[in-house]
Structure 1
Amino acid sequence: MTSNGPRTRHVTTDRLTVHLTDLRDEGEPVVFVHGNVSSSAFWRTTLSRLPGRYRPIAPDLRGFGGTDPLPVDATRGLRDHADDLHALLTELGAGRAHLVGWSMGGGVVLRYLRDHPAAVRSVTLVNPVSPYGFGGTHGVGGVLNSADGAGSGGATASPEFVKRLAEGDRGEDSPVSPRSVLAGCYVRPPWRPAPEDEEAYVESMLSTRTGDGHYPGDSTVSASWPGVAPGTRGVLNSLSPLYFRIDDLHLIDPKPPVLWIRGDADVIVSDTSLFDLAHLGATGAVPGWDGTPAQPMVAQTRHVLDRYAAEGGAVREVVVADAGHAVHLERPEEFTAALLELLESTRA
């Protein structure tokens, strides 16, 4: 079966029922994994750019979009999402697949690669979360700032942003409304999506299931700055370095090629991230800062990929100038060209 444009459907696996967007049933599978507070809708304009010899598939992760809102066991460090993805690709009979992960989706792809290297043709990381999680570490080796993961997890989200998500806020009257976060943080201002695309992206963000088992997750009190540490449930806790660490990627065999593509103006995944409490503390935005260093997210990713390359893996880094966190939306031609170069290299 072929299609002239993206289609949506549900696929039931042995883990859950997944809502996905795809184009056709044949070709080499290219699986697009979305980031936090989003869904497969953020990939719709990308899917149609692939030639017919590829089979693009963009699932909604659990708790996002139209996929079953099963709770997230954070102590598995994104394995809930990676295992869901493996079950989906098994159900689809996809075989070895190219994996493309954006932001948190990059972490899901890294987890999948670590667990199933022989099932992966190639990996593309798009402004990915650090292999050492989000928040609460220092140094390129991802050393915990505190044994309990203080500074990462569910309590690091803006309560007002979570409230507006839960209420379905579609406005732009607050800097922490979903639309304002999309315009100011997901992409680099002053660029904005076309109006009809922006509406779809806002609706996608609002599909995020909120609560302790979802976004942002639960939390605990910590004796270390900033006074909060991860709980055991929910999305942000699954990204905590307490549970999510991919520091041995260089040991896998085989080693599929990796493309790392990112915007140089990203304010979410950055060595000076506006979403890292330690960096915000250094700027005076979070009171009581005790000198805890910011997480060098980009440097950490480079450290892990350099080790991968040193052990025989092919790695290419592409930095897109003046682009933000959603480089595939802001610079679709450059993104697609880099992705297709990787895909074609595996065919050769």
Structure 2
Amino acid sequence: MTLLDGISSRIIETPRLAVNILERTGDDPATAPEQTVVLIHGNVSSSLFWQEIMQDLPSDLRVIAIDLRGFGGSEHAPVDATRGVRDFSDDVHATLEALGIPTAHLVGWSMGGGVVMQYALDHPALSLTLQAPVSPYGFGGTRRDGTRVTDDDAGAGAGGANPDFVQRLAAKDTSDEAPTSPRSVFRSGYVAPGFTSENEDLWVESMLTTSTADANYPGDGVPSENWPGFAAGRFGVLNTMAPQYFDVSGIVDIEPKPPILWIHGTADAIVSDTSFYDLNHLGQLGIIPGWPGADAAPAQEMVSQTRDVLGAYTAAGGDVTEVLLGGVGHAPHLERPAEFRRALLSRIGYVGIPANPSPPTEAIIIRSAD
């Protein structure tokens, strides 16, 4: 595991599984929860992706990045998708309990955004930062209002994973010889076109920590009579976000309501109203043949669904700030780290950061409470 300067790793033994975490070597374990930030990565990644922003956050904060099960250095325990992402969120809670942290500011990226929303449904959190989060209604197979398109979630879940990509993950392929190599997928999916990083090898290394065991990534699929011919199974990472198992729109009703930051980019290829990872959208474009039309297989309006749910959260008394970054892809913390840092520190109420920061270049800040 490649660690940047000032970052260390250790294994935390919990009653559920052994969990790997990253910490900063100078952080004080006695830091109050109000000054503690916990970072949760997304799918096909690990805590390694957080290292640059960990280095950049103020030294009087305690910053911890957790590897979810089946990723990074954590135990490759099986994932029961019928629990949605609760295996992951329960693991996070067990880890924080083992560390003696009763609550904290939670940051979740992509699937990790779903994990921290589920966490907030089950446990107190001081704030939530949702970076390019999965829709509160899951990934694939829902209409704008969150209702399921089919009763078996056709087109959602593990059956949509590209077999060659999975094989290359298992083979630890670091090349860019094919569009399905992890490096190529990072360049085309994780970040906006043209983004470069001196740490790209580290981001690919992080992707390659993904376990491809049967009940990890991607999981099992089942046949379906509905287009495109498969539906979500019961085990593995991708099935956790199938809408029959995953729905965190109930955050609208939680009390007390932690303040929320939603930060995302206009060029996100993964989480979008026109996602290139949504099979219904690909069918609409003619990339997958036989699409039965928008009535039977509508593209999922992922960003609009998130905006609807967070709007309802605000209407119910919550405080939501949306930061939309122009030209940014699926990883704002890599692509625009200064703006990500500023928005995060403002959201957690860090001293010295204005409560209402001026919009950064090419960004729209929408404070929903206004």
Q: Normalised by the shorter chain, which TM-score bucket?
A: over 0.9
Q: Give the one of 297, 309, 314 matched to 2:314.
A: 309
One-letter code aligned to 1:261: I
> Aligned residue pairs: how many?
341
Q: Which runs of 4+ in 1 moved over 3 A?
A: 345-348
What does residue 14 of structure 2 align with? 13
Question: What are the equivalent positions in structure 2 for 1:63-102 lying under 5 Å apart?
Answer: 63-102=70-109
User: Structure 1: how far apart are the matches of 2:236 and 2:190?
Assistant: 21
* Conserved? CA contact 1:136–1:240, under 8 Å: yes
Q: Which moved more, 1:241-250 or 1:96-105?
A: 241-250
What does residue 50 of structure 1 align with? 57
Describe the SS at the equivalent of 2:56. Answer: coil
Describe the SS at the equivalent of 1:322. Answer: coil
Question: What are the equivalent positions in structure 2 for 1:1-348 lying under 5 Å apart?
Answer: 5-23=6-24, 24=27, 25-27=29-31, 28-116=35-123, 119-139=124-144, 141-194=145-198, 197-291=199-293, 292-344=297-349
User: Structure 2: how far apart are the matches of 1:250 and 1:37?
Assistant: 28
Q: Do the aligned partners of residues 293 and 346 (structure 1) sit closer, same or farther apart at CA in structure 2, a change above 3 Å counting?
A: farther
* Conserved? CA contact 1:26–1:54, under 8 Å: no
* Conserved? CA contact 1:221–1:229, under 8 Å: yes
Unaligned runs of 5+ in 1: none
Describe the SS at the equivalent of 1:8. Answer: strand
* Conserved? CA contact 1:33–1:59, under 8 Å: yes
* Conserved? CA contact 1:136–1:146, under 8 Å: yes
- Per-residue CA deviation, residues 101-144 of structure 1 (Å, 9 max, x unaligned), is 0000000001001111xx211000000000000011111x2111
One-letter code aligned to 2:126: R
Q: Which moved more, 1:68-77 or 1:23-32?
A: 23-32
User: Structure 2: how far apart are the matches of 1:130 and 1:250?
Assistant: 14
* Conserved? CA contact 1:122–1:346, under 8 Å: no
Q: Do the aligned partners of residues 280 and 4 (structure 1) sit closer, same or farther apart at CA in structure 2, a change above 3 Å counting?
A: closer
Describe the SS at the equivalent of 1:209. Answer: coil
The alignment-based identity, stated in percent, is: 53
Unaligned runs of 5+ in 2: 356-370
- Per-residue CA deviation, residues 135-167 of structure 1 (Å, 9 max, x unaligned), is 11111x211110011110110111111111111
Q: TM-score, normalised by structure 2?
A: 0.90
Q: Do the aligned partners of residues 275 and 6 (structure 1) sit closer, same or farther apart at CA in structure 2, a change above 3 Å counting?
A: same
* Conserved? CA contact 1:30–1:57, under 8 Å: yes
Q: TM-score, normalised by structure 1?
A: 0.96
- Per-residue CA deviation, residues 295-343 of structure 1 (Å, 9 max, x unaligned), is 0000011111111110100000000111100110000001000001111
User: Structure 1: how far apart are the matches of 2:41 and 2:196?
Assistant: 19
Describe the SS at the equivalent of 2:202. Answer: helix
* Conserved? CA contact 1:121–1:346, under 8 Å: no
